[in-house]
Structures are given as structure tokens and as C-alpha cells.
Chain A
Amino acid sequence: MTAAAPLLRVEDLRVHFDTDDGTVRAVDGISYELQRGRVLGIVGESGSGKSVSSLAIMGLVDGERARISGRVEFGGRDLLALDPEAMRAVRGNEIAMIFQDPLSSLHPFHRVGDQLAEAVRAHRDVSRAQARARALELLELVGIPDARRRMDGYAHELSGGMRQRVMIAMALVNEPALLIADEPTTALDVTVQAQILDLVGRLKDELGMAVVIITHDLGIVAETADEIAVMYAGRIVEHAPVARIFGAPEHPYTWGLLASIPRLDAPRGEELVPIPGTPPSLLGLPRGCAFAPRCPYAQPRHHEVDPRAEPVPGDPAHVVACLLEPAQRRRLWAALRTPERA
């Protein structure tokens, strides 16, 4: 890691929901840092807490039944300690977020241009005309053809890819330092996905933004991220530079994910090895390692003791939360790697 102060530092973030059936520990103590201009990919399946953690950073978690604790340092402040008005000034301005379904994420009754201009005027003291001009500028930047006409149109008149471009434009209109993209391409066709990821990559470089990209698709993070955090049951189980996650992963869940996905670059006939069982319910998580019930290498002790995130010996940038001995993990991984993938 570089010596410069990180743009974002998350410390022991927890988001617990009190429901009639008990406490749902959606995010259960995650910590990470993100430097300026870097891309962090957060990978996880449903119930991993990947989306909720980012919503908590943005202050968008439904406050009534949620208990949020921890620290989120950004620009010298703890975002979780800010009052609502101060946090509002940060949202859409210094940190922006785009979501999964662009059709339902854009207001159906307001014109596209108005929705963009509104984002400008929420944080900048400019006239309506200036805000509209800025909106047009952004629409052209994200590659919307015939942008001037589209400004006065509505969301439902655009294709899925175009809508996501509008969302991106809306997020970048105030040149945020950090962009959080929550499954931005899951609802899109694969060729459109390529366009959008390409766009985000270019804009990131142009604007010098840091990006957090949340997804379940390992292919996307391999191609876009600098570092990857793997989440399971509300915790980060592994966090490392992207080459390490794919080349020398340390956590059995990561191994399981890599082994269970069909890949275009692996031989066709290769058997997929699924992870047995199902992701846990976040209500009443068992004691000990949350992955232990599904882990082929779990020992009795693992059902009692909570694993803590620790650096891998010899590589401080690589952190893993696993109770297996590092040497043992290396042996297991070496055995799992098939010759073709060496």
C-alpha cells in the first residue's frame, strides 16, 4: 500500500437490523481502505452484505430499524458521525452511487435533463440554465447520441444501456472523488455490459476517481478492479490485489467460487465443483466461522472460534479471515490447482 492517506477508510463497520424474528447481522465488522484512483471490487453472493455496506457508507440505510456502528473516514471526517444535513452535502457530490436497475432507478415522470440538473443544483449554486448546460455536457460525455433531444425525454424511452449511461452521468455531474457502483451491469446484456464497463474505466481515469464496484461476477472484477474484497455472511473473508485473489487465493470460499464457475478460458469438459449447501441466513448466525458449515476443511474448533482478518505471511497487502494454518492453506490450494491452470 502507498504511504499516502487513503481516500476512504472503513473500520469495523456493522449494520444490524432489528426484526420481529431477531437481529439480522447484515454487515458484521468489515474494514478496508481505498486509495485515490484505485478500483476496489467487492464480490459476494446474495446475503453477503456487499450492497448494505455501501448503502451504509452513503447513509442510505433505513435508519429506523438499523443499528450502524464503526467508522467510515472520508475526507478527514467520520461519515457515520455526521449529522444528516452534512451527510447530504457529501452524497451525490463527493461520493456518488449508481444502482443495478436503471429503469426503476430513474424517476418515470421527470425528464432526463431535469433529473440531471437537479443533481447539480443540489450541490452547486448555479442557475437553471447553467445546470442544464452541465447536464448536457455530461450526457455527451457518457456517449448518449442526440443528447440535446434526450434531455427532454423520459427514462422509459431509452434502452437499458442508455439508461445506465444516464445514471452514470447523473452520478458524475459533480465530479465525485469516489463512485460506488452496485451491480451496475447485472441487468444488462453482455455486449452492453462491456460498453458500460469500458465507459466507467475511461471516466475513472479522466476524472481521477476511486471506484468501488460491487458484483457477484468474478470476471468483471478480474478485468476492472485493482483489488478485491470477498464477502460472505456480512464479513470480508479475503482482501487482496486482484492478481493474488486469482493466482493465490487463501480462503476456502474463494477457492469454492473459482472452482464452481464455468470459464471460457478453461477446457470445456471440466467438471464444475459447486460449494455444497446454501448461503446462511443472517438471522442467528452460528458461532465461529460463518463459512464452516460449508467448508470441506472445517474442523470442530472452527465452529467455536471467530476468524479474524489477518495478513498472509509475507504479503501485508493480502488479508484473509480463516482459521486454517497458512502453510496448510498453501498445500490445499496447490492441490486444488489443476495443471491446466498453473
Chain B
Amino acid sequence: MARYILRRIGWTVVLLALVSAVTFVIFYALPSADPAVLRAGRQASPELVAQIRARLGLDDPLVVQYWTYMKDVVLHFDFGFSYQSGESVRAAIVSRLPATISMTVGALVIWLATALPIGVISAIRRRSLLDRVTMTGALLAISAPVYWLALVALYLFASDIGVIPIFDGANTYVGITQDPVQWFASLLLPWLVLAAGFSAFYARLLRANLVEVMGEDYIRTARAKGLPERRVVWRHGVRAAITPIVTVLGLDIGVLLGGSILTESVFNIPGVGRYAYDAIRTADLPAIQGTVLFAAFFIVVANLVVDIAYAFLDPRVRYG
């Protein structure tokens, strides 16, 4: 197993290097606008632009630029400076990470707490009214684009503009260290919106897996032993059905940590996603590059964690 992990870490490094190289080529070699012009701002003189070009090393060969960039990233953890604000990209991302983590964790808790029971009950009572209602509802929740859902949620429930003002609306986020109560209140609606689609998906996935597992021979054996049905369903059924869900869960967490751009934007939560959205809007190349690398890192690490977790969940899987 140790060998496997080492091998995978090696591949992780290679993958991240590849992602950064591709991003680099896209943004610096094929830009839609000259980075120096973007940095210089409006009505910049040609001399200023040329000066900036020299300072940023934009006339150097692409490979050199890439090498310089990667050296800074790897050795100094320096992702450059934002064209818009001049702020260190690393500092910007790190300061916004707590908000994104808050979003992710809260939504995660809600969607698991809802999807697991619903998935299990729907599987056990197949074709019941509950099953049909929840699965149809789930289909709707999955189909709805998250930003649409967010806007509708605000329209219906936001304390400032909503029809039934019960939740805090957009622009109300504060950090947990500042005001825990407000932090919590401001995240309720975003959590629910973000969790909706995932909850629906996981409920359907669990239902499908569990239905299949409950038809397996070892479930029949468990019943033949005279075990209580609840134990059969949870310790034997759900235990077997949950492994693919853990895999998907790890990957979803990895993706979410990279920033849920749409939700953060609609609710104006200062997370990494919002930062990425602003960066894209203003063609702030270092910031874009930084957020892409961060997101890639989380996804790749999540992949590795999930694969290792799988080996613990399923003893038939052994890595060497």
C-alpha cells in the first residue's frame, strides 16, 4: 500500500505540473488581450505598456516565463500578483479559503443528512408514494441550474427582498471568528441551495445502489441467519452500497473546495469561487492561474484520498 501511495503522489505532481503548463499556455501564449495592456489599465501610454512588459518578463520565451512562474510557485509558494488589485494572489486565495470551506462543509452536512435517509427509505419502500415523490423531486432538483435555484431562493426567502423573508439574503456573510451567529445565519440559504442538487443526486445514487445490493445473495444469508431487518438493511445492505458513494463524495468535496463559483457569486460570499469569477471577468491572469492550480490540487488530492479510502472500505481491493 505504501508503494501505491508513493506512486500516486508521484503522479499527482506530474498531473499538477501538466495542469499548470496547459493553463499557462492558454493564458500567456494565447491570450485574448495583451497581459501588459490589462495590467496597465485604461488609457495607458505605449511606454508604460512596454515598461510593464519588461517587468513582467513578457518578452522572454514562453518556456522561460513558465519556468520562472513555476519556480516561484514551488519554491516560494508565490502565485504572482493580481493585475487588478496588486494584491498577492496567494494571500487573496488563502484569505478567501475559509468562506469556501464554510460553504462546502455546511452544504455537505445538509446533503448527507438528507440524502442518506431518503435514499435508504426509497430503496426499501420501492414504488411507495414516498419513493415516487422523493425521486421525482430529486430529478427536479438535479435538473435545476444552481444559479437559478439561488436566485429563486433569494426571491422567495431573502430577508431583504424575499416574498417570505425568513433567511438572510445576499451580502450578509461575515467570517466565523467575527460573528458566529451571523456567519451561520448568512450561510443557511446558500447551504440549502448548494445542497439541493447534491442531495438529490446522492439520494438517487444510494437508492439505485441499495436496490441492487438488497438483491444480492449475502442479504439472503443475513436474513436466513435470523437477523433483525434493520440490521440487514444497514449493516449489510447500506454498508455494501455506500462504497461508490464515498468515491463520489470525495471527488465532489475536491471540486467544491476549488470554489463553487455560481453560488458564491449570487450570494456574494467572498470565497475562492467568487474570486475566480471576478478574476475571469477582469481577465486577471495571475489570479485565474492561481485559482485553477488550487482547484486542480484539491481535486487531485481528493482523488487519491478516495482511492485509498476505497481500499479500506472494500477488502477485495488491494493495491501493491
Contact = CB atoms under 8 A, between A and B. Distances in A.
Size range of the interface on B? Answer: 20 to 34
Nearest to A93: B226
Interface string B263-304: 000000000000000000000000000000000000000000
A122 B228 contact: yes
A164 to B, nearest CB: 12
B224 A60 contact: yes
A292 interface: no
Nearest to B313: A109
Given A107-B240, A109-B313, A154-B316, A122 B217 contact: no
A195 interface: no
B236 interface: yes
Given A107-B222, A108-B240, A108-B316, A99 B227 contact: no
A283 interface: no
B221 A105 contact: yes
Nearest to B237: A107
A122 B218 contact: no
Interface string A28-66: 000000000000000000000000000000101000000
Contacts of A99: 217, 220-221, 224
B224 A96 contact: yes
Contacts of B223: 60, 91
Interface residues of A, number: 29
B76 interface: no
A105 B314 contact: no
Interface in A76-90: 84, 88-90
Given A104-B216, A108-B314, A108-B315, A118 B225 contact: yes
A119 B225 contact: yes
B224 A92 contact: yes
B71 interface: no
Contacts of B220: 60, 99, 105
A106 interface: yes
B203 to A, nearest CB: 22
Nearest to B227: A122
Contacts of B224: 58, 60, 91-92, 96-97, 99, 171
Contacts, number: 74
Contact of B236 (A89, A92, A107, A154): A107
A123 interface: yes
B239 interface: yes
Nearest to B222: A107
A118 B218 contact: no
Interface string A141-173: 000000000000010100000000001001100
Interface string B223-258: 111111100000110011000000000000000000
B225 A90 contact: no
Interface string A98-134: 0101001111111000000011001100000000000
A138 to B, nearest CB: 13
A176 B90 CA distance: 69
Contacts of B316: 108, 154, 156
A84 B230 CA distance: 13
A92 B225 contact: yes
26 contacts: A58-B224, A60-B224, A88-B227, A88-B228, A90-B226, A92-B224, A93-B226, A99-B221, A101-B217, A104-B216, A104-B217, A104-B218, A107-B218, A107-B236, A107-B239, A108-B316, A109-B240, A110-B235, A110-B239, A119-B227, A122-B228, A123-B226, A154-B316, A156-B315, A170-B225, A171-B224
Interface of B: 216-218, 220-229, 235-236, 239-240, 313-316
Per CB-CB distance, the 4 closest pairs between chain A and chain B, nearest first, are A92-B226, A91-B226, A92-B225, A104-B217
Given A92-B225, A104-B217, A156-B315, 4 more contacts: A91-B226, A110-B235, A123-B226, A156-B316
